[in-house]
């Protein structure tokens, strides 16, 4: 696949690198998926990845590995993953061109 499912901003890359430094040695990257729930129908899920699961898409960008849950690939195509730091919170932000609706809290979306 030539087109990357997800593009990582420099801020996202440096935050993933920080997370990886704090993670246990067996961690190989960060897994991104989607789950049902939230006020708009779906929300993003992130977790440490210890191994590549069958059919996962592995994206290596600027020295970090992001594993995409096969069930999430169709929802994430063309998404940019960014990291936003604000006064009271910091979080990964997904700029997804497939979204048709997003809830006010920014936690969930609809395709």
Q: Which domains does the chain have, with CATH numbers?
A: 6-110 (2.60.300.12)
Nearest to 39 by CA among 96, 107, 97, 111: 107
Report pLDDT for 1: 44
Tokens for 88? 């009271």
Give CA–CA dist 58/67, Å, rounded: 5
Report pLDDT for 111: 63
For residue 38, what are the CA distances in angstroms to 16, 69, 79? 24, 19, 19
Q: Per-10-residue mean pLDDT for the chain, 111 residues long? A: 80 93 87 84 89 94 93 92 91 86 66 63
Report pLDDT for 107: 62
Report pLDDT for 105: 61
């Amino acid at each position: 696949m030539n087109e990357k499912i997800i593009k990582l901003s420099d801020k996202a890359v440096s935050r993933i690198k920080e997370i990886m430094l704090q993670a246990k040695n067996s961690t190989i990257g960060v897994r991104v998926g989607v789950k049902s729930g939230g006020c708009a129908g779906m929300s993003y899920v992130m977790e440490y990845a210890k191994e590549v699961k069958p059919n996962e898409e592995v994206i290596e960008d600027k020295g970090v590995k992001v594993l995409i849950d096969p069930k999430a690939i169709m929802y994430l195509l063309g998404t940019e993953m960014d990291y936003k730091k604000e006064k009271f919170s910091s979080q990964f932000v997904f700029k997804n061109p497939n979204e048709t609706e997003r809830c006010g809290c920014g936690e969930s979306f609809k395709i």
